[in-house]
Amino acid sequence: MKKFGLYITAAMMTTGIIMWGEPMVSHAEPIMVEANENAGFETEDEDIDEDSPVLEVAGSEREDTSNSGPDLTVQARRREEAAAQAAEAEAAAAAAQVASKRQSVVNYALQFVGGPYRAGGNDPHTGADCSGFVKYVMQYGAGVSMNRSSVTQSTQGVAINANQMQPGDLIFYGNGSRINHVAMYIGNGQIVHASTYTTGIKISNWNYRTPVKITNVLG
């Protein structure tokens, strides 16, 4: 009987039927956890390392997003600056073009210095009066069409002050407010004009007479 009892006990141990006061599975859980830890598996209570490659990639992605380009305010300011620079360049180019045109018409007029004065004349090559001279020079030296008399020429262009004069502007003289003479300002306080029969086309100081009006017809 003793041997029979030992056989039963051995068989029960082998099949796991023997009871220890608590279910065997409760004793197996620590063993499974320990086995998992020994095998390198993490349990659900394990924290993720902050320096893990997964977090590093996520951090890089966040950095790339934040530095994807300048914000809208910076972009708008750059566009405004570029537009302002373009406008300045355009204005400078336009001013240079006008200055070149002014100097060109002055040079054209100066070639007739010493030419004859002729009342009613329209061509400085053969003789011209003051308004005929200005009309001819403006037309062929600057491409600007002018009226024939000094009175009507004074109505063209924009009236300016003496401190605004530039080469190519027109200065009108008269008795009181009545205009009877016109000349072209050539710079450095001087004018070129068809003056009298005696002197012909010559250069004078701009204020040799008191100006009645000064105009800018070249822009």
pLDDT one-digit tens code per residue, 136-193: 999 999 999 999 999 999 999 999 999 999 999 999 999 988 999 999 999 999 999 9
Residue 56: pLDDT above 80? no
What number of other Cβ atoms are within 10 A of residue 99's Cβ?
Answer: 14
Q: Using the structure block, give the residue that is written with the tokens 């599975």.
A: 25
Position 27 in a domain: no
Annotated catalytic residue: which of 101, 135, 181, 213? 181
Residue 77 lies in a domain: no
Catalytic site residue from 101, 118, 193, 202? 193
Q: Name beta bridge partners: 27.
A: none
pLDDT tens-digit readout, 57-77: 444 455 555 555 668 898 898
Supply the range of the domain harboring residue 143: 107-216
Residue 123 in any domain: the answer is: yes
Measured CA to CA, the distance from residue 217 to residue 219 in angstroms comes to: 6
Q: Is the pLDDT of residue 121 over 90?
A: yes
**193 flagged as catalytic:** yes
Catalytic residue list contains 181: yes
Confidence (pTM): 0.61
Residue 44's SS3 state is coil
> Which of 106, 130, 182, 212 is the catalytic position?
130
How many separate domains does the chain show?
1
In this structure, what CATH number is given to the domain that contains residue 180? 3.90.1720.10
In a domain, 36, yes or no: no
Residues sharing a CB contact under 8 Å with residue 184, sequence separation 6 or more, in sequence order: 105, 106, 109, 134, 137, 168, 169, 170, 171, 191, 192, 193
Q: Does residue 116 belong to any structural domain of this protein?
A: yes
Task: Report yes or no on 5 lying in a domain.
Answer: no
125 included as an active-site residue: no
